[in-house]
Amino acid sequence: MCGIVGFFSQENFELLSNYLPAAVQSLSRRGPDDFGVAVSQSDGIGIGHRRLSIIDLSFAGHQPMESADHCFTIVFNGEIYNFKDLRKELQTLGFFFRSNSDTEVVLNSYRQWGPACLDRFIGMFAFAIWDKTSQKFFIARDRLGIKPLYYYFKEGTFIFGSELKSLMAFPVFQRQADPDAFHLYLHYQYVPAPKTIFENTFKLEPGHFLIFDGKALTKRQWWKIPGSESEVLTSNRMSENDAISRLDRLLTQAVSDRLISDVPLGALLSGGVDSSIVVALMQKVNRSPVKTFSIGFEEKGYNEAPWAREIANHLGTDHTELYASSQDALQVIPQLPEIYDEPFGDSSSIPTYLVSMLTRRQVTVALSGDGGDEQFAGYVRYWMTAAVARYINCLPRSIRKRIGNHIGKIPISKLHSFYKKVWNILPQRMRVENFSDKWQKLVNQLSHSELPDLYRATVSIWSKDDIFSLTGCCVPQGNYENIFSSYTQIDTIQRLMMVDQQTYLPDDMLTKVDRASMAASLEVRVPLLDHRVVEFTSQLPMSLKIRDGKGKYLLTELLCKYVPRQLVDRPKMGFGVPIAQWFRKELKELLNDYLSFDRLKVEGLLDCQLVQRFLSEHQLGLYNHQHRLWTLLMWEMWRERWLK
């Protein structure tokens, strides 16, 4: 994998070109193997690249890469898995290749087909091509948003890069936080696209391309996830066995495509359905044992390592397991503002970084199971929201709110004690390790009636009312509302999944994996998000995704072809760390320092007394505010690193 950065500015060319090497260097972890820059004063442009060598390790794959006619120059981040087939097609059209890299295939594909070349690519990517003849930048991002792309545009200066830190390396970049983005961050724990935390700075959305002609930006969507009723037709007529067979073929092909590499390759294995099916199919098409990696914690409820070990033993993989102590995890926290150069409040970034570091010791490329929950209705919140919408809304809102206020006051310790007593008699779908979080979200839902608001109560960290109390401002609208209003004629759970696939998946899950893995110089590939798989699963009826209240039905049935069912049927466990306990012990001093009354009063953004109340309630064990407090801690640590 790689890091890219570039600019266009006639007025500030000299200043920007002087700082281009520093901007490229800021991405060194994304590409430790090679470094390159190219500038043109007559054009007013500069582009740079850091390379993690995966395919064609020779200097022939060096970037920025110029076309044979010197009219086009590319910087590319990603992998095109069908590049060999495209290369053959382009050769029949008269193109000559000087390297064996997929980068040159992308460059010549654009020369031949223009923006339509994007439809031909199977892979993950973010790239920029400078067209010297037309004096335009063409910038594109892959269908699902696996690879990131940021851009800044103000007063004729255009800058783009793989990470915000590469934009911040230029002195002309103004580090002015966007108040709306700050409130959205508090609400969702990430800044949703197309916004970033900075003004005049944006994320290029998944499945979009951008053209900049030196004066204006033109943005277009070139791919979207199928989601209308008319598109859910063919697969509805398929039998269950046929659907399993087709999914098997599609996923096997997706996994096989992602085994193309000139460097060592392995897989991240948590023991859950998603990563297990990826590893099972890797082992299916591999002659030798696949290298698999998992991480465990001593704290019960956060340790998936035993499950991963059993899956690895059954499949016969070459398995490596690391048990991380709380001290190992705590040492990662000070690095997070550097790794995530935008406020990011998902604490599972800690184990994601730790397992990436473990994996990188032996391999350079790893496959993961990301994307399964959003495609196969794997999250408990899907059926829980649908159930609330269907049944609880029969009660008047005043009664629901009164019930919510009452049960919301039950101490966390009593809830846990009761839950453990009834654990064995509960249906499988209601057995979750993070029960207190689910309970809190159910309580929040009782105050709402409309589906978007009901679902918002499960995915938001600080509610709209909380944020108004906390900051005195309202949460602005964003893509969440737009996407919800775009899918009104489909099944409730399908609608929730479509929202997640276009918000939570790219802006949280894929961002988390990209930054954590790239900080370890590890390339992670995600076969479940192959667009051919996504287009197929988006057309499946809900009966093949949820059965008897349990998600991932079809994917689980496929996995059971390769793994005994007893290794598959287990309570869903989130990939996280025991932040709630740490905030009362190991992290108490750090938390109290960053969220101190005096510190927040000087900053002037938050209601200091309200924050102290949440802090006290959590540390006394009255309530579990771990996600809210973590979001504030990450904001304060990010602000200290990047705004001071």
Catalytic site positions = 2
Q: Which residue has the tokens 């001071």?
A: 644
Could you tell me whether strands 523-525 and 365-367 are parallel, antiparallel, or unpaired per DSSP bridges?
parallel
Phi–psi pair at 126, nearest 5 degrees: -145, 125
Phi–psi pair at 218, nearest 5 degrees: -120, 120
| Helices assigned H by DSSP within 202-291 | 240-257, 273-285
CA neighbours closer than 13 Å in the CB half-sphere of residue 332? 23
Number of residues in the chain? 644
Partners of residue 323 on adjacent β-strands: 296
185: Cβ contacts below 8 Å, ≥ 6 apart = 191, 197, 343, 345, 631, 635
Left (φ > 0), alpha (ψ -120 to 50) or beta: where does 393 sit?
alpha
DSSP of 568-636: T-S-B--S---HHHHHHTTTHHHHHHHT-HHHHHHH-SS-HHHHHHHHHHHHTTSS--HHHHHHHHHHH
Omega of the bond leading into 564 within 30 degrees of 0 (cis) = no
Output the six-digit token pair for 126.
């973010």
Partners of residue 153 on adjacent β-strands: 158
In terms of Cα–Cα distance, which of 95, 96, 97, 103 is closest to 55?
Answer: 103
DSSP3 helix / strand / coil % (the chain, rounded to 5): 50, 15, 35
